Amino acid sequence: MSSYDYIVIGSGSSGSVVASRLSEDGRNQVLLLEAGGHADRFWVHAPAGMGRLFLEKAINWAYFTEPGAEINGRSIYWPRGKTEGGTGAVNGMVYMRGHPLDFDRWAALGAEGWGWDEVLPYFIKSESNSRGASAFHGGDGPLRVSDPRQKHPTIEDYLRAAENAGVPRVGDLNAPPHEGADFHQHTIRDGRRETSYTAFVKPVLHRRNLTVMRKTRVLRILVERGEATGVEILQGDRRHVIRARREIVVSAGSLNSPHLLMLSGIGEGRMLAAQGIAVARDLPGVGRNLQDHWFGPMIWEVTRGSSYNDALRGLGKYVEGVKYLLARRGLLALSVSASAVFARSSDALAQPDLQMVLRPVSYTFHPKGAVMVDGFPGVSAGVVLLNPGSRGHVSLRSPDPLAAPAFQPNYLSDPDDGRRTVLGLRRMREIMSRDPVAARVVAERLPGPAVQEDEALLEHIRAHGNCGWHQVGTCRMGRDALSVVDPRLRVHGIGRLRVADGSVMPTITSGNTNAPCIMIGEKAADMIRQDALPRRDAS
């Protein structure tokens, strides 16, 4: 077909939801475009395969940031999924919605209709929680959310130690009080990774009104007389134009969505003109407001039996492989991000600003992105700053649509980010020094017992810290001069064009961002149906 009612760009966490929900109405012809190919790969399906996907360029954009002034000039590797399911096909599968105050803050910043009470129903709508339906969870939605099949005793001891350090154990990190310590839930179904694509799109591929085009690069959105009318695509070495009779929805993710808008003439006018791109709409906020979580890594050597490291090296990894192949059991059926403690760096804060994750495995990130399990029994922690003050940007390097844009996240540019992360490292040390987990600790390997002063801990964060791969905010919602979309996700000044993905977040959520992106897709689809623009002649 040369035209569709709705064209959705990107089959990731938000786009798959939008396409699936819009195609529930058989009168809508829906096209879902994906730059990558199929995700039917063993290490995509196996939850513990995340580390092997970091460098798999066949399904990964494999981006790098610009050097950061406050992180010792380092460039940070940013894996982003380029396949069915998007980054949800390569992430850690942690299901965290964020804190209610995150969404109330969105509403206060001009995104009316996105407060906690208004978004909670969309979280619930998506979810099929293994614990069943409740006031805070869905029991029959498309997306499977489950508890880990195995709970390592070291993690149990960590959670008990957190209680002894004053952080209460809670039964659900996604329900009141939205603070405390517990195991994570994950988007895993019967030992296999669940993505938005496998949950929302794959089961309905039989619908005649839903078309999925893979290995299709969108080069630009066509804008005519102030409206988005179609897309120019590249398949192999052939270019085509496909028209949209109703709307185009950009769900390419927080890095690629602003890039695509810029290539289409929507962005800061002077920058676009300097690149030789005709300006369709001067929107200086496109690509601005980039936010990400930054974390301080910690590693402890522990006693034998207190870590999965040995089982994931040598012959042990083959044993685990057989377990998984025979019954989808064992360590390969688990996410390594097992648990978290949500706490505040100061009692004066209204909500937790620290997420202290402990994993029953330790590994080293190498500068080019490789992940290697350590050769000693170890556990690793990530002390994540949940609401950083630092802001970065995405900018255009070239008018060539196949050239990657430039990413400057400006990690730690807000001095308070480093200060609070240092407090988090100290809090993590305090928990690990408490019984019963302390009995398992042999030695602190990273940053090491010699690193004690604030400045030394801050230098550790600069030299060894890494990101949460939770980039958001680059096409933010609002009504001010630097916002890109209005609260109904319509691009300011361009008709029949919306953005629906993590880029629309005004501020980053307090936790992993996959679940909020799925919620954004649900709410976007609902608003598009409610607005129901008339079809136009797409000839």
297 contacts 424 by C-beta, under 8 angstroms: no
d(CA 267, CA 250): 15
pLDDT, residue 539, reads: 59
d(CA 105, CA 125): 22
Neighbours of 237 (CB within 10 A): 5
Question: According to the annotation, is 469 in a ligand binding site?
Answer: yes
- Does 3.50.50.60 match the CATH number of domain 1-52+80-99+196-290+471-539? yes
Span 1-52, pLDDT tens digits:
799 999 999 999 999 999 999 999 999 999 999 999 999 999 899 998 887 7
Question: According to the annotation, is 91 in a ligand binding site?
Answer: yes
Q: In this structure, what are the phi and psi dihedrals at residue 393, rounded to the nearest 5 degrees?
A: -160, 160
Q: Write down the CATH number for the domain with range 149-183+293-468.
A: 3.30.560.10
Query: What residues form DSSP beta bridges with 192?
Result: 189
| DSSP single-letter state for residue 164 | H
Span 171-228, pLDDT tens digits:
999 999 999 999 999 999 999 999 999 999 999 999 999 999 999 999 999 999 999 9
pLDDT greater than 70 at residue 367: no
d(CA 324, CA 329): 5
β-strand pairing of 30-33 with 210-213: parallel
Break the chain into its structural domains and give their ranges.
1-52+80-99+196-290+471-539, 149-183+293-468
Span 80-130, pLDDT tens digits:
999 999 999 999 999 999 999 999 999 999 999 999 999 999 999 999 999
CA-wise closest residue to 505 among 523, 527, 529, 525: 523
Mention every residue, 6+ apart, whose C-beta is less than 8 A from residue 238. none
Question: According to the annotation, is 240 in a ligand binding site?
Answer: no
Q: What is the mean pLDDT of the chain?
A: 95
* 186 is known as an active-site residue: no
Q: What pLDDT band is residue 369 in, cutting at 50, 70 and 90?
A: low
Question: According to the annotation, is 92 in a ligand binding site?
Answer: yes
Q: 426 vs 59, 154, 302, 467, CA distance in Å? A: 38, 20, 19, 19
Q: Which pTM value belongs to this model?
A: 0.96
pLDDT, residue 128, reads: 98
The percentage of the chain sitting over the pLDDT mark of 90, rounded to a whole number, equals 88
Three-class DSSP category at 305: coil
Query: What residues form DSSP beta bridges with 391?
Result: none
27 contacts 207 by C-beta, under 8 angstroms: no
Q: Quick one: tokens of 171?
A: 């039964």
Which secondary structure element, helix H or strand E, spans residue 441, and what is its range? strand 441-446
Neighbours of 146 (CB within 10 A): 19
Give me the catalytic one of 99, 152, 464, 470. 470
Question: According to the annotation, is 321 in a ligand binding site?
Answer: no
